[in-house]
Chain A
Amino acid sequence: MFLSYLRRRLAFAGIALFGAILVAFLVAHLVPADPLAVVLSDTATKDPSIRAAYMKRWGLDRPLPEQFFFYLANVLHGDLGESFTTRRPVIRDLAQFLPVTIELSFAAFTVSVIFGIPLGVWAALRHNRSADHAARLISLVGAASPIFWTGLIALYIFYYILRWAPGPGQLDPHLARPPAVTGFLLVDSLIAGRVDAFLSALGHIILPALVLGWFILGLTARTTRSALLEVLGADYLRTARAKGLGERRVIGLHALRNALIPVLTVAGLAFASLLSGAVLTETVFAWPGIGRYAVTAATRLDYPAILGVTLLTAVIYIAVNFVVDLLYGVLDPRIRV
Chain B
Amino acid sequence: MSQSRLSLPRRAQLFVVAVLILPTLVAASLWNTPVQGQVRAETLIIVRNIDDYVTNDPNRQYEYSSQMLDQSSYDTLVTVEAPDFTKIQPKLAERWEISSDGLTYTFHLRRGVKFSSGNPLTAHDVRFSFLRLKNLQDNPSFFMDPVKDIQVVDDTTVKVTLSAPDASFLAALAAPPTGVLDSKTVIAHGGTDAGNAKDADKATPWLNEQSAGGGPYRLTSFRKNEQAVLERNAGYWGQAPYFAKIVFLHVKDGTTQREMVERGDADIAQDFDPDIVAKITSGTRLKVVEGLSMNQVYMAVNTNPQASKELADKRVRQAISYAIDYDGIIKGLVRNAGVRPPAMLPLGILGVEAGMARQRDVARAKQLLAEAGYPNGFPVKLNYWTSPLLGVPPEPLAAKLQADLGAVGIKVTLEPKERSVMITEYRQGKPQLMLASWSPDYLDPHPWADAFYKKGGPAARRVSYDNPKAIDLVAAGDRELDSMKRAAIYKELTQVVLDDVPFIMLIQPKSFVGINPSINGYAIHPIWFVTLSKLSR
A binds B: yes
Q: Which residues of A contact B (CB under 8 A)?
A: 31-35, 37-47, 49-50, 53, 85-88, 93, 96-97, 111, 114-115, 118-119, 121-122, 125-129, 152, 155-156, 158-160, 163-170, 172-175, 177, 196, 199-200, 202-204, 206-207, 210, 232-233, 247-248, 251, 283-284, 286, 288, 292-293, 296, 299-301
1/0 per residue B227-247: CB within 8 Å of A? Answer: 100000000000000000001
1/0 per residue B179-209: CB within 8 Å of A? Answer: 0000000000000000000100000110010
Interface check B94, CB cutoff 8 A: no
Lowest 10 A-B CB distances belong to which pairs? A203-B31, A288-B226, A166-B31, A33-B420, A37-B423, A203-B30, A288-B225, A34-B424, A33-B421, A164-B28
Contact A127 B32, beta carbon cutoff 8 Å: no
Contact A155 B54, beta carbon cutoff 8 Å: no
Contacting residues, chain A, for B53 (C-beta < 8 A): 86
Contact B35 A174, beta carbon cutoff 8 Å: yes
Interface check B473, CB cutoff 8 A: no
Contacting residues, chain A, for B9 (C-beta < 8 A): 247-248
Residue of B nearest to A129 (CB): B4
With known contacts A119-B16, A200-B31, A200-B32, A46–B456 Cβ distance under 8 A: yes
With known contacts A33-B418, A200-B31, A200-B32, A173–B249 Cβ distance under 8 A: yes
Contact B427 A34, beta carbon cutoff 8 Å: yes
Contact A164 B24, beta carbon cutoff 8 Å: yes
Shortest Cβ distance from residue B417 to the other chain A in the assembled complex, whole angstroms: 9
Interface check B325, CB cutoff 8 A: no
Shortest Cβ distance from residue A208 to the other chain B in the assembled complex, whole angstroms: 11
Contact B16 A118, beta carbon cutoff 8 Å: yes
Interface check B45, CB cutoff 8 A: yes
With known contacts A41-B62, A118-B19, A160-B263, A173–B31 Cβ distance under 8 A: no
Q: In the bound complex, how far is the Cα of B422 from the Cα of A301, in angstroms? A: 13
Shortest Cβ distance from residue B387 to the other chain A in the assembled complex, whole angstroms: 8
1/0 per residue B453-491: CB within 8 Å of A? Answer: 000111100000000000000000000000000000000
Contact A127 B249, beta carbon cutoff 8 Å: no
Shortest Cβ distance from residue B219 to the other chain A in the assembled complex, whole angstroms: 15
Stretch from B115-123, B253-261, B366-374, B505-513 that touches the partner: B253-261
Interface check B141, CB cutoff 8 A: yes
Q: List 15 A-B contacts (CB under 8 A).
A: A38-B419, A44-B138, A50-B138, A50-B139, A87-B55, A88-B208, A168-B256, A169-B227, A169-B251, A173-B43, A199-B32, A200-B31, A286-B226, A288-B226, A299-B420
Considering the complex, which residues of chain B in the window 424-443 have a beta carbon less than 8 Å from any beta carbon of chain A? 424, 427, 438, 441
Contact A158 B27, beta carbon cutoff 8 Å: yes
Shortest Cβ distance from residue B89 to the other chain A in the assembled complex, whole angstroms: 24
Partner of B420, one of A49, A97, A125, A300: A300
With known contacts A33-B420, A119-B16, A233-B1, A43–B447 Cβ distance under 8 A: yes
With known contacts A37-B423, A174-B40, A47–B141 Cβ distance under 8 A: yes
Contact A286 B54, beta carbon cutoff 8 Å: no
Q: In the bound complex, how far is the Cα of B191 from the Cα of A108, in angstroms? A: 44
Residue of B nearest to A196 (CB): B32
Contacting residues, chain B, for A251 (C-beta < 8 A): 6
Partner of B137, one of A49, A155, A196: A49
Contact A45 B458, beta carbon cutoff 8 Å: yes
Q: State the interface size on chain B (CB cutoff 8 A).
A: 77
Residue of A nearest to B136 (CB): A53
User: Assuming A34-B427, A97-B225, A129-B4, what are 8 further A-B pairs, CB within 8 angstroms?
Assistant: A37-B420, A40-B139, A44-B458, A49-B137, A87-B204, A167-B265, A173-B43, A247-B6
Contacting residues, chain A, for B227 (C-beta < 8 A): 169, 173
Contacting residues, chain B, for A44 (C-beta < 8 A): 62, 138-142, 458
Considering the complex, which residues of chain B in the window 20-42 have a beta carbon less than 8 Å from any beta carbon of chain A? 20, 23-24, 26-28, 30-32, 34-35, 39-40
Partner of B226, one of A127, A128, A170: A170
Shortest Cβ distance from residue A327 to the other chain B in the assembled complex, whole angstroms: 23
Contact B249 A169, beta carbon cutoff 8 Å: yes
Contact A286 B249, beta carbon cutoff 8 Å: yes
Contact A53 B137, beta carbon cutoff 8 Å: yes
Contacting residues, chain B, for A34 (C-beta < 8 A): 420, 423-424, 427
Partner of B43, one of A31, A96, A174: A174
Contacting residues, chain A, for B60 (C-beta < 8 A): 87
Contact A38 B27, beta carbon cutoff 8 Å: no
Interface check B250, CB cutoff 8 A: yes
Shortest Cβ distance from residue B443 to the other chain A in the assembled complex, whole angstroms: 14
Contacting residues, chain B, for A53 (C-beta < 8 A): 137-138, 198
Contact A43 B441, beta carbon cutoff 8 Å: yes
Q: In the bound complex, how far is the Cα of B252 from the Cα of A42, in angstroms? A: 24
Residue of A nearest to B423 (CB): A37
Partner of A299, one of B139, B198, B419: B419
Q: In the bound complex, how far is the Cα of B28 from the Cα of A199, in angstroms? A: 12
Contact A165 B27, beta carbon cutoff 8 Å: yes
With known contacts A96-B223, A288-B224, A115–B20 Cβ distance under 8 A: yes
Contact B142 A47, beta carbon cutoff 8 Å: yes
Interface check B378, CB cutoff 8 A: no
Shortest Cβ distance from residue A101 to the other chain B in the assembled complex, whole angstroms: 11
Shortest Cβ distance from residue A163 to the other chain B in the assembled complex, whole angstroms: 7
Contact A172 B6, beta carbon cutoff 8 Å: no
Q: In the bound complex, how far is the Cα of B12 from the Cα of A232, in angstroms? A: 18
With known contacts A163-B263, A200-B32, A203-B30, A32–B142 Cβ distance under 8 A: no
Contacting residues, chain B, for A288 (C-beta < 8 A): 223-226, 250
Shortest Cβ distance from residue B459 to the other chain A in the assembled complex, whole angstroms: 7
Interface check B282, CB cutoff 8 A: no
Contact B205 A88, beta carbon cutoff 8 Å: yes
Contact A33 B142, beta carbon cutoff 8 Å: no
Q: In the bound complex, how far is the Cα of B45 from the Cα of A37, in angstroms? A: 33
Contact B4 A126, beta carbon cutoff 8 Å: yes
Interface centre among A40, A46, A111, A210 (most CB of B within 10 A): A46
